């Protein structure tokens, strides 16, 4: 994975970001989900690097990127703060505008980036996500049963204690066969670090404290994503089962949105990287 890519630590005003980048052409920023690092994108990044300059950072608070400082409302871990840091990263790499794709929690940061920095985001891909406020307002007993971790992670201290006591018991679905041994070993290293566990949990706390307020303010003001948007979801995951057609939901948040499901479980970049990268390439425009 990441054939010919460079691994860097790049400073931003908020802190240093671990980032792997390679290929040539228009820039594509790929943002991972929980509890992954940038390594989850390895196979898809290789497919995309023939035609694009692919940039894969660890999200702030994840992997070996900087840890946002604690705040009562978790605002330093908000998707707005993370989007700002990642836009700065792209500018430091020489990209004033770029394509962006996010998966899971990374999708929430990608969405916020498109809302807050419309001049920077040429096209947006969202994978396995809807806006935080849509999750919360549509939550029912199936959401509480199957996505209970959202509310557990919002509690003080207890989530970190539970995960750090036995990280492999908590993250019991990790598979070196699907992830690749290098990505698997990288993830084992970070989930055994209590500092990283705290940073990842703060991402969820921000969702339930401040991120949904940013969504609500945008909705009340009538602001939408103005760039073309592609919504993808994993057919063997439960987003569509719980919420119905994700594209229908996103049409309230974007002027130009299309989408479809991909045959995969939740971690589509690892389980079906070819279909995912092909969908992105067709949407961005072949290079």
pLDDT digits (tens, 9 = 90+) for 19-63: 999 999 999 999 999 999 999 999 999 999 999 999 999 999 999
Quote the pLDDT of residue 269. 96
Best CA proximity match to 133, nearest among 234, 268, 35, 250: 250
| Cα 71 to Cα 35, 75, 113, 149, 274, distances in angstroms | 21, 6, 21, 21, 40
Strand partners, 28: 54, 99
Quote the pLDDT of residue 1. 86
81 φψ region: left (φ > 0), alpha (ψ -120 to 50), beta (else): alpha
Q: Which residues are catalytic?
A: 104, 266
287 has pLDDT over 70: no
Quote the pLDDT of residue 198. 98
79 has pLDDT over 80: yes
| Arithmetic mean of pLDDT over the chain | 96
160 has pLDDT over 80: yes
Query: Scanning the structure block, which residue is given the tokens 């931003």?
Result: 12
pLDDT digits (tens, 9 = 90+) for 141-154: 999 999 999 999 99
The span from the CA of 166 to the CA of 175, in Å, is 17
286 has pLDDT over 90: no
Topology at the third CATH level for domain 6-284:
Rossmann fold (3.40.50)
120 has pLDDT over 60: yes
Quote the pLDDT of residue 23. 96
Pairing of strands 229-234, 257-262: parallel
**Range with the lowest mean pLDDT among 54-63, 78-87, 224-233, 235-244?**
235-244
The answer to whether residues 87 and 80 touch, using CB atoms and an 8 Å cutoff, is no
pLDDT above 70 covers a percentage of the chain that reads: 99
102 has pLDDT over 90: yes
What length is written for the chain?
Answer: 287
């Amino acid at each position: 994975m990441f054939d010919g890519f460079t691994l860097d630590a790049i400073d931003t005003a908020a802190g240093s970001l671990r980032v792997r980048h390679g290929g040539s052409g228009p820039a594509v920023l790929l943002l991972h989900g929980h509890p992954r690092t940038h390594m989850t994108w390895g196979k898809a990044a290789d497919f995309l690097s023939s035609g694009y300059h692919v940039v894969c950072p660890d999200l702030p608070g994840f992997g070996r990127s900087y840890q946002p400082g604690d705040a009562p409302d978790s605002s330093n871990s908000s998707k707005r703060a993370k989007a700002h840091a990642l836009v700065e990263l792209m500018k430091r790499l020489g990209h004033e505008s770029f394509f962006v794709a996010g998966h899971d929690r990374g999708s929430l940061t990608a969405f916020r980036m498109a809302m807050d920095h419309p001049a920077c985001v040429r096209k947006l891909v969202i994978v396995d996500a809807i806006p935080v406020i849509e999750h919360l307002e549509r939550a029912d007993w199936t959401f509480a049963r199957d996505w209970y971790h959202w509310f557990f992670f919002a509690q003080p201290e207890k989530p970190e204690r539970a995960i750090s006591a036995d990280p492999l018991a908590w993250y019991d679905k990790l598979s070196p066969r699907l992830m690749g041994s290098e990505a698997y070993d990288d993830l084992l290293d970070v989930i055994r670090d209590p500092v990283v566990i705290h940073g990842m949990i703060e991402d969820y706390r921000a969702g339930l404290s401040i991120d949904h307020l940013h969504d609500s303010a945008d909705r009340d003001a009538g602001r939408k994503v103005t760039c073309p948007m592609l919504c993808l979801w994993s057919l063997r995951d439960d987003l569509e089962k719980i919420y119905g057609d994700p594209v229908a939901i996103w049409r309230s948040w974007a002027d130009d949105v299309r989408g479809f499901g991909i045959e995969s479980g939740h971690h589509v970049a690892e389980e079906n990287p070819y279909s995912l990268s092909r969908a992105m390439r067709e949407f961005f425009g072949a290079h």
